[in-house]
Structure 1
Amino acid sequence: MNAAVRTLVAALLGALALAAAALPATLPAAALDAAPALRPLGSGEMRWLGFRLYDAQLWVSGTAYQPDQPHALALRYHRGISAARLVDTSVDEMRRLGAADEAQLLRWRAALQQAFPDVAAEEVIVGLHLPGGGAAFWHQGRLTARIDDAEFARLFFAIWLDPRTREPGLRARLLGAGAAR
């Protein structure tokens, strides 16, 4: 193997190691207890105005994403973000994706305020969607909220997984299309 090929192979292996280290190797034990068949499907990064915000990883129950099967989304943040910003952005996106009832959005806002603390760089939030049942959230492996509302869970996970997402490239990578960035 010539020096150029060895350098390229080393660079690729290093990039793969960094990508693997950026996301959780496993989900919280309670998430796996609730949905033991979960396995990683795809991953990608979220950028805004060129700034890397978080890496995302989708875990599914089978070999592909199926909205009616349990799935989890793990987000590892690369910068600090306030709980208020996480909640506001989530509610705004849920509204954009079809939640029209403002009273319902107010209830969901209160639930998200329990689910989301301020996050610091390298901290992880995991959301578990149990279709027909609701969602549960963990921050750094600690359960922060269970939201027993199937419509809330459907719209919350739609932020990333609905074809109308604001980030179709990230959605494609989460669903296993293309390499993680």
Structure 2
Amino acid sequence: MADPLIDFKKVGEAKLEILFWDVYKSELYTLDGVYQQDVFPQALKVHYLRNIKAKDLVERTEEEWQKLGVNSQISAPWIKQLSTMWPNIKKGDELLILVNKSGDSDFYFNQQSIGAIKDSEFGSSFLRIWLDEKSSYPDLQKQLIGEKK
């Protein structure tokens, strides 16, 4: 399979550490290597540094959306789709979301396509978990968008 990031340039990268645990490394990509909010295509690659159950990943996504004020009536169908799409994560696995120009989102697990969500609101809402100024990890957000090394 062709690399979905072949035409992309890295904007920034960050590592999430909670207490003593390394959780993941993340990388943000755009076509020109510059981040502009809600200007697509954008891709976010997450390289996991520990095992995480799919159920826990979905629950955490839902919690983050609640913190960001994403309407639960809008996100409920997305949660259902993610619950059937995402696998259990083992240390070393990668998840990639690619939000295309029209806002549709494709997911890849270890470079293999695992599904898509054809809803232009989803991609922006999903990326907000990492890229919004009100994200749970502001230092990580700044590193990903290229504002902080």
TM-score norm. by structure 1 comes to: 0.75
From the CA coordinates, give the structure whose radius of gyration is larger.
1
CA distance in 1, matches of 2:50, 2:60: 16
Q: Is the 8 A contact 1:131 1:150 kept in 2?
A: no
Q: Which residue of 2 aligns with 1:44?
A: 14
Query: Percent of aligned positions with the same letter in both sequences?
Result: 26
Provide the rounded CA distance (Å) in 2 between the counterparts of 1:123 and 1:98. Answer: 29
Partner of 1:157: 127
Aligned residues: 148
Give the structure with the larger strand fraction. Answer: 2
1:61 corresponding residue in structure 2: 31
Q: Indicate the structure with greater helix content.
A: 1
2:24 aligned partner, one-letter code = Y
**Distance apart, 1:77 and its partner CA:** 0.6
Is the counterpart of residue 85 in structure 1 residue 56 in structure 2? yes
Query: Structure 1: 5+ residue runs without aligned partners?
Result: 1-27
Unpaired runs of 5+ residues, structure 2, are none
RMSD of aligned alpha carbons: 1.7
Offset at residue 94 of structure 1 (A): 1.6
User: What are the Cα deviations for residues 108-147 of structure 1, in whole angstroms up to 9, with x where unaligned?
Assistant: 1111113311000011111111254321111111111100
- The 5 A counterparts of 1:1-181 are 29=2, 31-32=4-5, 37-66=7-36, 67-100=38-71, 102-179=72-149
